[in-house]
Structure 1
Amino acid sequence: MRAAVVRTFGGPEAVEVVEAEVPEPRAREVRIKVAASALNPVDAGTRSGAFGGAGKQVGLGWDVAGTVDAVGVATAWNVGDEVVALDYGMTKPVGAHAEYVVVPTDAVALAPATADAVHAATLPLNALTAAQGLDLLEPAPGRSLLVTGAAGAVGGYVVQLAAHQGVSVTALAREGDEEFVRSLGAAHFASGGVAPAGFDAVFDAAVLGERALEWVRDGGAYVGVIPQAQPAPVRGVRTSAVEVAADGARLAELVRLVDEGVLTLRVAETYSLEEAVKAHVRQAEGGVRGRLVIVP
């Protein structure tokens, strides 16, 4: 099978499409024939060597939408099931940017009934990050939440999930994104990298760090999206960072919200697997609204 990998670290040019063995599922694993897989910032980090793996082949891709085509023992999934999954791992030899991928059975959920595979592939990593980050903040209905990078893939899901929970959301984004983030459920809008202070919580999807921490009220809460890189606590503010985990049951809840129209799946552009370098170049250029998706 074909897979996008890096064997030397660097920019987009470091990405290679190579031949690899089709993986076989073991106990409590399933193999998915990949229909689509989103490209995420974590893939750029992997490509550049931020997570290690020097001297090894490192696979790219965490998101997968496709069809179960082989199962190991002790799994409830069946060949032919249309699914989505998070293929978690920083330095795996082959990732989800491939024709086939093997994942743990408890990382899998049925695919949305209302979306095609390309759109479904944008859900697992970003929506799980949003949901698990909100768990750390523990926002309550009526409380105030500032979301930085609210028009981005993670930030957009945070806005929708929090608004669905009855939280008063202020979206911090570019001026031209106001109409969009309000359509996601933001009650208030801020731009120019400046927001008022006094929020009960901040979800810092834009990685502003200490600047975003200043906008949290004394005794509030802050969550970032880079594990173990959150700013130090001040003024009694509880700080943390979400480290996403594969969770098929939670992913199934998010799929349900997609089918109910609560969550919006956004695709910016699609690329073939052979065009993986072009996809990485486009991501590096910035300004992408939605996710770039690779189709094997």
Structure 2
Amino acid sequence: MKLKVVLLLVLSYWIVAPEAQAKRCKGNLVVTSSASEVIEEHGNQVSVYLPLKIQVSDALLGCADEIRIEDVYYYSLVFAGPTEYKYANLLDAQFNNMWSRNGIWRTPLSNHTTQMWIRLKHYSLFPAGAYYGSVKVSIVRRNRVIKEQYLDITYDSQPQVAITLDSASQGKVSGSSGNYQIDLGELRSNMRFYWGIKVLSNSSYDIVLDSEYNGLRHETDSSSLIDYTLGFDNVKISSSERLIRSYNFYPGVRNKWFGFEFILGNTEMMPAGIYRDHLSLTVYPR
């Protein structure tokens, strides 16, 4: 009689639910945006790069696999400004554009620190004031959120001004970067000279117009002075006077043209020689 032995092997194992895995995936998440690291570029348009730095501890780096970024209030990255809402772009550490899917930007979690940038663009100077945005950063393991942090991001556009010669004056006035020279040639009584500038500003401003010598002064004989009249923005002043004008406008950007008229005084019986004056036009944004 043959005996038949049957061995019954029972294998037992534990299935760990994803929820339990997520609970064991612990660590620290720190999301920051430092105002000292903001980059501004000025050209045909203005671009501002706001830093977005994501830092995770060893524990999170070892168990999570993805970073997700999304706007808190909108489907795209949106910043509220003093005059309008501005749509932003999310860039990687090399300033390459990142693309969202269903309003969420995704990137693998592979380092303790992940650097990103938020770019704001404007066709000209940004209107002065504060721009506010808010993002949510999530650390994900297998499509389950492990950690998340909300961050408010602010960009403060400071009052700025730029002064340039108008195209009609560039052939008559030499110089650049706000330092210009005008050669009047041979001085004659009541001679006139015209030129113009453009003032680009992102805030209201004051203009102060002032003559250093209160007229055209002889280069060697300081007592010899030829006065003149200066016309500016429909106002005429003597070279011995100071002009102060204020220009107020609603937050935004304004590019305004200003014309100058120079009328020389009496030159008869004045000593021969070269006469000079330093005329300063100062714009104070506010």
TM-score bracket for the superposition, by shorter chain length = under 0.3
Where relative contact order (Cα < 8 A, 6+ residues apart) is larger, the structure is 1
**Quick check: which one's strand share is greater?**
2
**Quick check: which one's helix share is greater?**
1
Say which one has the larger Rg: 2
TM-score by length of 1: 0.17
TM-score by length of 2: 0.17
